[in-house]
Chain A
């Protein structure tokens, strides 16, 4: 295959995912509305919100530092890079080797650190509160995430997502008990990392319960828009990672166009299913007290590690 078409694929994937990310968010919210017998704002709502925000004048606290203003862009950049790396549509993209799963986790960590710092920048009570809680969630979620990914990479003898996808998806189908543990752990991490119920409630501004929202309270207009967009990107990226590891089917190799069509189709289906599932999960479960979060994530961490051990004990 020729580098040119790979580059095309790379650009295509990045742009496409960036564009549909808000749609995913909209879909999830819509499904939640349906499940709660509400009519819902419609799945295009996020785009309207973003557009509105971009139009507004930005309001900035007096003592906001450059770091505060730079953060939304850095955030957006990180997330964009993430979706550029994860094989959403196609494997063996030129950027793919730039980061393996560990680097990916590092990337999310980078984003988290910056957004928390931004939260503390103004020095408001809620900002620091949010940052503290975010980092607490983070330091528990991050290792769990790593362990989950390690389980997959131990099976495929590699930490690069491409190789994982190729071994898991394009070889014959094998049942890995360790992957079951990993899957559950990954789901829990996904909920925690994307500020979903039961850890956080994306749609609340009730001060004492919020985490992610508390950090970005001071943002407005275009900054807020970027932050929101970035978080929808993050959700999509997590979905994509999930697909790549646990449902790595129908992902094209860079360069074959038919495969790409199939991949897009598959992606749409997967995203729809995942979004619906997420909505269902959020509807049936209730938000837990902040100090239950460590237990929740500790369990995730434990499960992930257990997954690794089972891999060593059963599958070698």
Chain B
């Protein structure tokens, strides 16, 4: 099979995304987690740009720029500020140990691909196989949120999931209408800010960002 160049590029970026998702899943250090997240955003922006270029859809350029601004510069900067302020550099050992997580992750990827193939068949876009990867990276970030103990890393998982969604949107459907994308972007931004506020509050109430403090409310 020989796809046109941009298609190969997009597939490459897709693969990179998946790789990064795995990397984040296994990463213990919060700091490098953030860097990985920024990297993921960057790859996302690139792929968006490529899609834009290949399909000559101008509004995708904007969303690429948006991504760049938001997910590569703004959010990582905010997160950096946060962890410096709260100095949580290390995440404690995740709930499930890394190899097990990896195994589960691989299962998920396979599952996601199976899920996506029937759809990929009917997809009109040239970048059909990316849907599976998008799904996989979403599920992986979900898994990451489950396994992490620190509030920060959970949030990063949340944002990573957002990335996966965004990738799915751009690569499989050439992007949502602009209104929607702006709205989504806004929400993500606000969400992050609120998270920031929360970190400080949780911190000052529990002297830690470890979420096992947040297990008081339950059925006894």
**A adjacent to B, CB under 8 Å:** no
Q: Please report A residues at the B interface, Cβ cutoff 8 Å.
A: none
- B residues adjacent to A (C-beta < 8 A): none
